[in-house]
Every structure is written in structure tokens, then in C-alpha cells.
Amino acid sequence: MALEQRLNLRLSQKLIMTPSLQQAIKLLQLSRLELVQEINQELVQNPVLEEGQETMAPEQLAAQPQPDKGKIEEESRQDGGTGDDHDDYDAFWRDYLDKGYEPRRQGEPIEGPGYEATLSKEENLTDHLTWQLEMTPIDDRQREIAEAIIGNLNDDGYLDATIEELQAMGVNGGGTTYTEAEVKTALVMVQTFDPAGVAARDLTECLGLQLRHLGLTGSRAERIVIEHLDRLRSHDYQEIAVALACDVAAVLEDVEVIKHLDPSPGLKYNSPRSPYVTPDAYVVKDETGEYRVTLNEDGLPRLRISQTYRRMLEKGATAADPEAKEFVREKFRSAVRLIKSLDERQRTIMKVAVSLVKHQRDFLDHGIEQIRPLRLRDVADDIQMHESTVSRVVRNKYLFTPQGLFEMRYFFHAGVPDDHGGEVSSLSVKQNIKEIVEGENTGRPLSDAAIVKILERDYGVKVARRTVAKYRGELRIFSSTERKIT
């Protein structure tokens, strides 16, 4: 066979991710805080972008008018320029560099640090224990072991490392292995620090340390914690009384003491700060009774194209340097893409929010009892977009409604069949289970099977027992045996 070259025409379709599409997808799934950080980063990296009072609309960017030479020279003279291209270019950079370093004149006030720089750091458990360790008179070797113990405490204040692991840390520090007696001595010392119960290895030891701190060493309450903690969890007070040879009333007195102990002593110092959530959109009911959606654009930087760079590009101020001209053109295109992507992001969020209001009108009027089952596909079909786009929109986005502030994902959940052939929201079923448990007799708590019957009888909802157990677990409701109080 002879080798030869041939030309063939083929028709094919390919999905090409253009830079504009990639940026639009990236911005769409960002939270509000992440979006502000992304915009601020672009403002730093792209000199063509600047923050102004109003954002240039995308349709205005797509069709920028070409000003004539006389108008450009008139604008340049109004800005203080001479009308000459090179003079305007040089003046811009001279002003820019001059403002970068400007000595303070005599008598001008000194600008102090920002408010954030004056805030003190919140003390955590490690800081609190380290401060107590520094106030304790011990030798350097014991201090090293105590620091290793403090460094291996979890957020609840429990010790995650074993005695053997703590012994081996002496070698990691460039010394010799700590002895078992040295580690135990240091551990006992740390366990005397505040808060009581810290550095315990399990719940039994944690509660026992707190009882000793209260002066109840060797008491009946300590025996209950050490010997009968499993029976205490299941409220088997009668069996505990038989084992301790006392009456149930005495056991209940000790149980009241144990109830006031803290099973997680470290959380009071390691509790995370409550995040500050800013809604991306507001749902407000107007005078006519209709719900209106308004985007929250407070705090978002207003972007516009720098007029100086636009004039430089139009007037050919960078014509002498092709690389500089190409640099400005690329930054100009990048700025236009960003503004268009931001506008498209806001439009998409508005469409999804309006669709949510349309589907969840009963929830907005009456509350969680009337919330409807909703899927991503329902909203996607309503706004004529793909499910993946809707999924990106509702990620880390929040909607403020007359019923409160909710994450947009909150409105998407499965449905449970009812007696009328329709579906009831799983959130409504969870609310019903919570109400049933709150109204039960604590002496005879309801089992999951009994809750199933009540749901079908009083609420018209048919669910399986394992579904009730699943929802009860998500609501952090204990089983009937653990809820029993005698």
C-alpha cells in the first residue's frame, strides 16, 4: 500500500469551556463572602477595573461608542491633561507613583491602625491551660510532658493520645523517652487544672474528676459513675438501687448531682463563633399581598472600566509599545468578562429565588407545616436551566423570608406519601414527630411503632418505622428507652 495524504471533512460537536463560561460557573457557586474576596482580588490584579458608584451594564460594555478625537481631547483637558497622548499617559503613572509614597506634612494627624487590628484574640482551651501551667512551679522535663498533654486535647477537653504515645514524644523532641511514671505524674497535674474534668481519657474519668473536685470522692455518686454508667444512660434506677443496697430516692438524689456535671468541659473555651450570615436576596410581602424578591447588593463592590485606560486604548497611547497595548487589551477583555459574569450571576440568583417563592407560597404564608416537597429538577424546569446550574446557585446562598433566614438548599427535600395520594414534605413530618415526642408521657415514652400509628391517624402520613427512627436520629431525639424518666 502506498502512503498518501488525504483531506477529509468531518462534522462534529464539542463542548468548549470558554473563559467567559468558566468564570461564570466559578462565580455562580461562590458564597457572598467569597465573591467579595474574588472581586477585591481582581481589583488588585487588573488595573483596568476600578470601583465606582455605579456598575457599567453589560449591554453598555458590548456596544461601547467610539468617541471622536475632539471629544477625547476635551475630556483630557477637563482631567488636567494637555491633550497629548504621551503627556496623559506619563501624567497618569506619575500621579499613581506619587500617591504611593507621600511624606506626612507637619501637623497632619497620624492614621492609626484599623479597628480589626485592635481586637484581642479570644482565649481557647490551650491558652487557658498553658497559662495555668506557666504559673505552676515544676521542672523543665515535667513542663515538656504537660505541654505535650495539653497539645493532644480535643475540643471537648479529652486526651486523645495514650500513655505510650506520650512517652514516645520525648524522643521526637530530641531527648529521651519519658517514663510511664513521669507521664502519669504530669497527667494528674494537668487534670487538676480548670476546667474540672479536663485531660480525661473517657467520660467516666471526666465525670469522676469533677466529683472529686466537688469533694465527693468515694461517694455513692462516684460509684454510680464508675460502676453503673451504662445503667444510668438507660435510666435503670431500680437496678442501680439494688446494686448499691439503697432505695431509689437516694439514687435519684445522686442523679441530680451527676446531671449538673459537664461531659464536655473544653467546649466552653473552644466553642466556635456563630457565623454572621448575610442574605443574598430578600422576600418581602407588599401591600397587595404579593411576595417580591429583591437582591441584596449591599457591600458588593461596584465595578466599572477605568476611563483613563479606555482613553489610552482608543487614542493609541500604547501604540509605541505593542506588548503594552496587548496587555491593556487583555485586561480590558478580562474586566468586561468579570462584569458580565457578575451580572449573569445576579440574574440567575433572582430567577431561582423567584421560583422558590412561587413553589413555596404556602410556607411563606403559614410556616413549616405547609412547606412543599421540592426537587432541583422542578426549579430547573421552571427557569429553563440545567439542574447543575440550580445546584450551584443554591450552594451557600441565603434567602431572607417572613418566616426567617434560610439557606436556599433548605427548600429542597424529599416528599412522603399522604392519604390523599399526594406528598408531604419530610420537614413537615419531622416537625410532627417532634411535636408528638414533646407531648408524650415521660413515664411511658412512645416507641417508633407507636409514632408511626399516630402519624397515620392524626396527620394522614404513612411512613415506615425505620423512617421514623431515621428522622428521630436527625432531630437528635433519643429512643423511648433513653427518654423514659421514672
Q: What is the CA radius of gyration of the chain?
A: 34
Q: Is residue 285 domain-resident?
A: yes
Nearest-angstrom CA–CA distance, 160 and 276:
32
Predicted local distance difference test score (pLDDT) of residue 70: 47
Predicted local distance difference test score (pLDDT) of residue 313: 72
Q: How many CB atoms neighbour CB 421 within 10 A?
A: 6
Predicted local distance difference test score (pLDDT) of residue 463: 83
One domain for residues 139 and 253:
yes
pLDDT of 310-326, one tens digit each? 777 776 655 557 787 78
One domain for residues 421 and 391:
no
- Round the average pLDDT of the chain to a whole number and report it: 79
Q: What is the dihedral of CA 129, 132, 134, 136, to 10 degrees?
A: -130
pLDDT band at 85 (very low <50, low <70, confident <90, very high): very low
CB-neighbour burial class of residue 217 (10 A; exposed 0-12, middle 13-18, buried 19+): exposed
Predicted local distance difference test score (pLDDT) of residue 224: 92
Residue that wins the pLDDT comparison between 278 and 91: 278
Q: Is residue 35 domain-resident?
A: no
pLDDT of 218-270, one tens digit each? 999 999 999 998 888 888 888 999 999 999 899 899 999 998 999 999 988 87
Across residues 372-379, what is the average pLDDT?
Answer: 88
pLDDT band at 35 (very low <50, low <70, confident <90, very high): confident
One domain for residues 228 and 286:
no
Distances (CA, A) of 136 to 86, 140, 186, 199: 71, 11, 11, 17
One domain for residues 376 and 391:
yes
Query: Per mean pLDDT, which of 108-117, 163-172, 371-380 is the most reliable?
Result: 371-380
Nearest-angstrom CA–CA distance, 446 and 441:
8
Three-class SS of the chain: CCCCCCCCCCCCCCCCCCHHHHHHHHHHCCCHHHHHHHHHHHHHHCCCEEECCCCCCHHHHHCCCCCCHHHHHHHHHHCCCCCCHHHHHHHHHHHHHHHHCCCCCCCCCCCCCCHHHHCCCCCCHHHHHHHHHHCCCCCHHHHHHHHHHHHCECCCCEECCCHHHHHHHHHHCCCCCCCHHHHHHHHHHHCCCCCCCCCECCHHHHHHHHHHHCCCCCCHHHHHHHHCHHHHHCCCHHHHHHHHCCCHHHHHHHHHHHHCCCCCCCHHHHCCCCCCCCCCEEEEECCCCCEEEEECCCCCCCEEECHHHHHHHHHCCCCCCHHHHHHHHHHHHHHHHHHHHHHHHHHHHHHHHHHHHHHCHHHHHHCHHHCCCECHHHHHHHHCCCHHHHHHHHCCCEEEECCEEEEHHHHCECEEEECCCCEEEHHHHHHHHHHHHHCCCCCCCCCHHHHHHHHHHHHCECCCHHHHHHHHHHCCCCCHHHHCCC
Q: Is residue 179 domain-resident?
A: yes
Query: Per mean pLDDT, which of 10-24, 109-123, 360-374 is the most reliable?
Result: 360-374
Predicted local distance difference test score (pLDDT) of residue 273: 64
Nearest-angstrom CA–CA distance, 48 and 335:
7
CB of 412 closer than 8 Å to CB of 388? no
Boundary (domain end) residue, out of 411, 438, 458: 411
Boundary (domain end) residue, out of 360, 392, 411: 411
One domain for residues 398 and 421:
no
One domain for residues 263 and 135:
yes
One domain for residues 446 and 394:
no
User: Does residue 37 carry a pLDDT above 80?
Assistant: yes
User: Does residue 366 carry a pLDDT above 80?
Assistant: yes
Q: Is residue 420 domain-resident?
A: yes
Residue that wins the pLDDT comparison between 48 and 184: 184
pLDDT of 298-307, one tens digit each? 878 888 888 8
Q: Is residue 305 domain-resident?
A: no
Task: Evaluate the omega torsion of the peptide bond into residue 195 and state whether it is cis, within 30 degrees of 0.
Answer: yes
User: Does residue 476 carry a pLDDT above 90?
Assistant: no
Q: Residue 472: give its domain's CATH number.
A: 1.10.10.60
Across residues 144-152, what is the average pLDDT?
Answer: 92
One domain for residues 225 and 142:
yes
Structural domain span for residue 148: 125-270
Q: Is residue 229 domain-resident?
A: yes
Predicted local distance difference test score (pLDDT) of residue 102: 37
User: Does residue 193 carry a pLDDT above 90?
Assistant: yes
Q: Is residue 276 domain-resident?
A: no
Q: Which residues are CB-neighbours of 171 under 8 A, at least 6 positions away?
A: 177
One domain for residues 392 and 442:
no
CB of 233 closer than 8 Å to CB of 225? no
One domain for residues 385 and 450:
no
**Domains held by the chain: number:** 3
Q: Which residues are CB-neighbours of 179 under 8 A, at least 6 positions away?
A: 167
pLDDT band at 297 (very low <50, low <70, confident <90, very high): confident
- Out of 42-56, 129-143, 195-209, pick the least confident: 42-56
| pLDDT above 70 as % of the chain | 79
User: Does residue 150 carry a pLDDT above 60?
Assistant: yes
Boundary (domain end) residue, out of 411, 429, 464: 411
Q: Is residue 356 domain-resident?
A: yes
One domain for residues 391 and 462:
no
Backbone angles phi, psi at 179, to 5 degrees: -80, 160
One domain for residues 292 and 236:
no
pLDDT band at 206 (very low <50, low <70, confident <90, very high): very high
